[in-house]
Amino acid sequence: ERVRKLTDRVKGWVNLRRTPPSKRKLVISLYGFPPNVGAVGTAALLDVPNSLENLLRRLASEGYDVGSFATDPNSSGESIVAALSILSEDTVIAGGAGRMQDAVSSKMERARNGDQTVAATLAREGGGLGGGKIQAFDVTRQELESMLGRYMSKKVER
């Protein structure tokens, strides 16, 4: 069993190496503590938005598909962090996947109208998101458990 798992893992690494960067799928996780208070992308003495922006530009220069983020002069890491913070709000989550883009678009409109309670970078063309759009879908408890396992799905439910 261990040999099979190791072999599968090595095959995956070889396949990944052979896949051009533009076809690879990456996940970037942003720290958010304390949870559920909109503290996405915060870390003591670190400039998370600027680091995220630099990372995305570097990935683009290495051939990864980051959309138009790297070439859009209005794009900013601060806008991405602001959008993720909006998506972390309980009311937005409770509204379901179909309302998430509307929640971000609404805050972008408020920023354009001068609302000081919204990140100013969201007022930029395209919200400063480099052409990024929200892609979300709702899942049932059973689907969540099959994706995350029983232990993690229970933590998410809480």
Give the DSSP letter string of 27-92: -----BSSTTTT-BT--TT--HHHHHHHHHHHHHHTT--BTBTTT-TT--HHHHHHHHHHHTSHHH
Residue 5 has a pLDDT of 93
d(CA 54, CA 57): 5
Q: What's the rounded mean pLDDT across residues 14-18? A: 95
**Is-contact 48 40, C-beta < 8 A?**
no
Residue 133 has a pLDDT of 87
**Is-contact 111 123, C-beta < 8 A?**
yes
Q: What's the rounded mean pLDDT across residues 77-105? A: 91
Q: What's the rounded mean pLDDT across residues 114-127? A: 93
**Mean pLDDT, the chain, integer:** 90
d(CA 120, CA 113): 10
**29 pLDDT more than 90:** no
Q: What's the rounded mean pLDDT across residues 1-14? A: 94
Say which residues have a Cβ less than 8 Å from residue 38's Cβ, sequence separation at least 6. 85, 88, 89
Question: Can you give the pTM of this predicted structure?
Answer: 0.80
Domain ranges of the chain: 2-157
**33 pLDDT more than 80:** no
Q: What's the rounded mean pLDDT across residues 81-85? A: 91
Residue 88 has a pLDDT of 86
**Is-contact 107 86, C-beta < 8 A?**
yes
Higher-scoring residue by pLDDT: 67, 34? 67
Residue 36 has a pLDDT of 60
Higher-scoring residue by pLDDT: 43, 86? 86
**157 pLDDT more than 80:** no
Kindly tell me the burial class for residue 127, based on how many C-beta atoms sit within 10 Å of its own C-beta (0-12, 13-18, 19 or more).
buried
**Is-contact 65 22, C-beta < 8 A?**
yes
